[in-house]
Structure 1
Amino acid sequence: MKVYGVIGWKNAGKTSLMERLVAEITGRGFTVSTVKHVHHDVDLDHPGKDSFRHRQAGATEVVLASAHRFALMREHRGPEPELPQVLARLAPVDLVLVEGYKRDAHPKVEVWRAETGHPLIQPADSLVRAVATDTNPGPLPVPVLDLNDTAAVADFILREVGLAPV
């Protein structure tokens, strides 16, 4: 599986770009999965529900299964899993897009908007291969992509991971 990250500061537009990229890339016939790093507890469950009770009783994994999808919840009861551990749990696809995990060692595109008030991450991270923005960030040693041109950002990522002609 090819892995490519979308990083940036809060409210820069990472999730909107991810959503558009998934639609664009799957529309081209590739299979895509996503991983999103969050800084709060994730819980699809509610106290009193059967699956919640299974977890509370000590189950390591609980699967909620229906006719159209299933959700696997895993209690790791330890430190937060590293990205490679998370990726190892995924079914094979052509491309995994990772939102967040900005300090991990995979190639990334940075989403940057001046109005967030944060500096660019790219100058300090050589794995940021391009910056997608809706403004002029000034001279950079990497390509600057139009944040609103989803097809161009998708082209760049697919070329980077070897899924499109160079």
Structure 2
Amino acid sequence: MEVFGFAGYSGSGKTTLIEQLIPLFVAEGLKISLIKHTHHNFAIDQPGKDSYRHRAAGCSEVMVTSQYRWTLVHELRNEPEPSLKEQLARLAPCDLVLVESFKNEAIAKLEVHRTTIDKALLFPQDPNIAAIASDLPLETSLPQFRLNQPKIIAEFILQQTGLKQNG
């Protein structure tokens, strides 16, 4: 599995860009997975549903399965948050794992920057940032892309990960 990350502040457009890139990768015949980190407490089940009730009652893991999809919810219950490496090991085999918002991980990543967010750029402090996608040109020697260039960004990522060779 190849791994490529996306870093940037909330509201910069990471999710929107990734959403545009995924169909381009799939059209290349690649199997794509994604790991997204969040600092928020979240739940994929809802109060009153069986899975929620079982988890609230104390289950460490609850799996919900159907003919369309399955999901596994694992409650940490005071365990430490798993590392990106541990989470990658849990994924089924695929060609490319896109990683959103693991800013401090030592993986190749694209910085997504929007000037209206008015936050400092990450690349000067992060040697793992391979390129930048922004709404305006920036002062850097790194490869730069406009946010509205998903096809060009997809080609860059495929070359960066070795999933597509030059020429």
Amino acid at match of 2:133: A
* Pairing 1:77-116 to 2, within 5 Å after superposition: 77=77, 78-116=79-117
- Secondary structure in 1 aligned to 2:111? strand
Q: Partners in 2 of 1:13 and 1:162 — Cα distance?
A: 25
TM-score normalised per structure 2: 0.94
User: C-alpha offsets along residues 42-65 of structure 1, whole Å, 9 cap, x if unaligned?
Assistant: 211233322123223332211111
Runs of at least 4 residues of structure 1 off by over 3 A?
none
Structure 1, 140-149 or 152-161: larger mean CA deviation: 140-149
User: C-alpha offsets along residues 70-95 of structure 1, whole Å, 9 cap, x if unaligned?
Assistant: 11101122222211111111101000
- Secondary structure in 2 aligned to 1:53? helix
Q: CA deviation at 1:134?
A: 2.0
Specify the alignment match of 2:162 in structure 1. 162
Specify the alignment match of 1:131 in structure 2. 132
Gap runs ≥5 in structure 1? none
Specify the alignment match of 1:47 in structure 2. 47
TM-score normalised per structure 1: 0.94
Specify the alignment match of 1:38 in structure 2. 38
- Secondary structure in 2 aligned to 1:156? helix
Q: CA deviation at 1:8?
A: 0.6
Computed over aligned residues only, the root mean square deviation of the Cα atoms, in angstroms, reads 1.2
